[in-house]
C-alpha cells in the first residue's frame, strides 16, 4: 500500500524536475552564446529643487515694479487688508512708519503668485532713506512678513541681502506657495534679490566681441552639487555703480541656505599697439674670411 501511494507523487515531480533541467540548459546555452550580456545601470541624478533639465537659463522673466495706480483692484484690496499687520510689525523694527511720507510699489514676482509683495520707501533726502519690503498672503493663507532693509540710510542688521532674517522670510514665503510646477531657478533668485531691496535685471545676450567692455561676473548659471541641491549664480546689470554678482545655495528640498553678493567691475580689453617699433642693433661685420685648403 505504501508503494502505491508514492507513485503519483513521483510522476508529478518528474515533469517539474525535467522542466527545471531544460531551463537551466537553455540559460547555459544562451550565456555561452553571448558571454557579454549585462544588466544596464541607470544613472541616478542627485536631488535638486528645480525642474530636471532646467540647467540652461531660458528667456528671462523680468521682475516688474508697479505703482499703486497700476495695481489691480484685487491686489489693492489685499494691501489694504494687510496694512494694519504691516504697521504693527514695522513698529517692532523701529522703522517709524507713523512718521513722514511713505510710498510703495508692488513687486510683481512670477514665482510667488499667491502673495502680494510690496516695497515701502520714505526718502528724506540723500543719506536719509528708509526702506522695507512686505509680503501679504492672498486669502489669508499664511502670515504677513516684513524684511527691513534701511532705516535712515543704515542697515538695521547685517546687510539685508545676506542676513538670516531675509533668508528665513524668503523660505517661509516659498513654503506657503507650494508651487506646481516648481518655479525656474533664475526667476527665483531674482525674486529674492527684489525682496532684499534690489531692482534686478539680468541680460543673457552674448557679449559683443567689438564692444569696449565685457562683464566680469557670471551672467546666469546653475550648479548641481554631487549630493544634490543647487547653487544659483546671476549678474544684476541694474545695480549701481557696478553690476552685482549674486550667489545662492539651496538644499535638495529647495530651502535657501546662504546668499552672497559682490560688486564686479567690467573688463576693459587692452589692445596691442598698432605701430611697429624698430629695434636698433650693431650690424654684423661685412668682411669674409677665406679658408685656404691645402692640395
> CB neighbours (10 Å) of residue 211?
10
What pLDDT was estimated at residue 259? 96
List, in order, residues 6 or more apart from 142 with CB less than 8 Å away.
114, 115, 172, 173, 176
What pLDDT was estimated at residue 268? 67
List, in order, residues 6 or more apart from 32 with CB less than 8 Å away.
none
Percent over 70 (pLDDT), the chain: 67
In a domain, 181, yes or no: yes
With beta carbons less than 8 A apart as the criterion, state whether 126 and 152 touch.
Answer: no
In a domain, 288, yes or no: no
In a domain, 287, yes or no: no
The more confidently predicted of residues 92 and 192 is 192
In a domain, 247, yes or no: yes
In a domain, 168, yes or no: yes
Could you report the per-residue pLDDT of 73-86, keeping only the tens digit for each? 999 999 999 999 99
In a domain, 244, yes or no: yes
Q: How many domains does the chain have?
A: 1
In a domain, 292, yes or no: no
Query: Which of the residue ranges 2-6, 28-32, 282-286 has the most confident prediction, judged by mean pLDDT?
Result: 282-286
Note the pTM of the prediction, 2 decimals: 0.73
What pLDDT was estimated at residue 42? 54
Beta strands in the chain (DSSP E): 64-66, 103-108, 115-123, 129-137, 145-150, 220-223, 230-236, 244-250, 256-263
Could you report the per-residue pLDDT of 231-278, keeping only the tens digit for each? 999 999 999 899 999 999 999 888 999 999 999 987 766 655 555 555
**Nearest of 202, 176, 172 to residue 60 by alpha carbon:** 202
In a domain, 166, yes or no: yes
Long-range (24+ apart) CB contacts under 8 A made by 261-269 are 261/161, 261/162, 261/193, 263/239, 264/215, 264/216, 264/217, 264/235, 265/216, 266/213, 266/214, 266/215, 266/216, 266/242, 267/213, 267/214, 267/215, 267/216, 268/212, 268/213, 269/212, 269/214
With beta carbons less than 8 A apart as the criterion, state whether 95 and 118 touch.
Answer: no
Averaged pLDDT for residues 54-73: 85
What pLDDT was estimated at residue 16? 42
Least confident of 150-159, 175-184, 203-212, 228-237: 203-212
pLDDT category at 218 given cuts 50, 70, 90 is confident
Handedness of CA 259, 111, 148, 256 (dihedral sign): negative
Least confident of 14-23, 36-45, 69-78, 158-167: 14-23
Q: Are strands 129-137 and 230-236 parallel, antiparallel or unpaired?
A: unpaired
The more confidently predicted of residues 213 and 284 is 213
The more confidently predicted of residues 226 and 59 is 226
pLDDT category at 14 given cuts 50, 70, 90 is very low
Query: Domain containing 137: what range?
Result: 64-205+212-263
For residue 106, which phi and psi values (nearest 5 degrees)?
-90, 135
Amino acid at each position: 500500500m505504501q508503494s502505491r501511494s508514492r507513485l503519483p507523487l513521483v510522476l508529478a515531480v518528474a515533469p517539474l524536475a525535467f522542466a527545471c533541467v531544460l531551463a537551466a540548459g537553455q540559460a547555459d546555452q544562451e550565456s555561452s552564446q553571448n558571454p557579454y550580456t549585462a544588466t544596464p545601470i541607470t544613472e541616478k541624478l542627485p536631488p535638486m529643487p528645480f525642474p530636471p533639465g532646467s540647467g540652461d537659463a531660458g528667456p528671462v522673466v523680468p521682475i516688474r515694479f508697479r505703482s499703486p495706480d497700476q495695481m489691480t483692484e484685487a491686489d489693492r484690496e489685499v494691501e489694504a487688508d494687510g496694512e494694519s499687520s504691516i504697521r504693527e510689525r514695522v513698529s517692532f523694527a523701529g522703522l517709524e512708519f507713523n512718521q513722514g511720507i511713505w510710498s510703495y510699489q508692488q513687486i510683481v514676482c512670477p514665482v510667488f503668485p499667491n502673495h502680494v509683495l510690496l516695497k515701502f520707501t520714505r526718502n528724506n533726502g540723500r543719506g536719509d532713506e528708509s526702506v522695507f519690503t512686505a509680503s501679504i498672503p492672498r486669502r489669508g493663507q499664511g502670515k504677513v512678513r516684513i524684511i527691513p532693509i534701511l532705516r535712515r540710510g543704515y542697515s538695521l542688521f547685517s546687510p539685508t541681502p545676506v542676513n538670516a532674517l531675509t533668508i528665513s522670510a524668503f523660505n517661509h514665503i516659498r513654503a506657503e506657495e507650494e508651487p506646481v510646477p516648481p518655479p525656474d531657478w533664475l526667476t527665483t533668485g531674482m525674486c529674492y534679490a527684489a525682496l532684499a531691496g534690489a531692482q534686478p535685471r539680468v541680460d543673457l545676450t552674448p557679449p559683443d566681441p567689438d564692444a569696449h567692455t565685457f562683464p566680469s561676473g557670471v551672467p546666469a548659471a546653475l550648479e548641481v552639487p554631487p549630493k544634490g541641491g543647487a547653487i544659483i549664480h546671476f549678474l544684476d546689470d541694474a545695480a549701481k555703480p557696478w553690476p552685482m554678482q549674486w550667489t545662492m545655495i539651496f538644499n535638495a528640498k529647495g530651502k535657501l541656505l546662504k546668499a552672497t553678493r559682490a560688486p564686479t567691475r567690467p573688463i576693459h580689453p587692452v589692445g596691442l599697439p598698432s605701430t611697429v617699433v624698430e629695434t636698433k642693433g650693431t650690424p654684423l661685420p661685412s668682411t669674409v674670411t677665406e679658408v685656404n685648403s691645402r692640395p
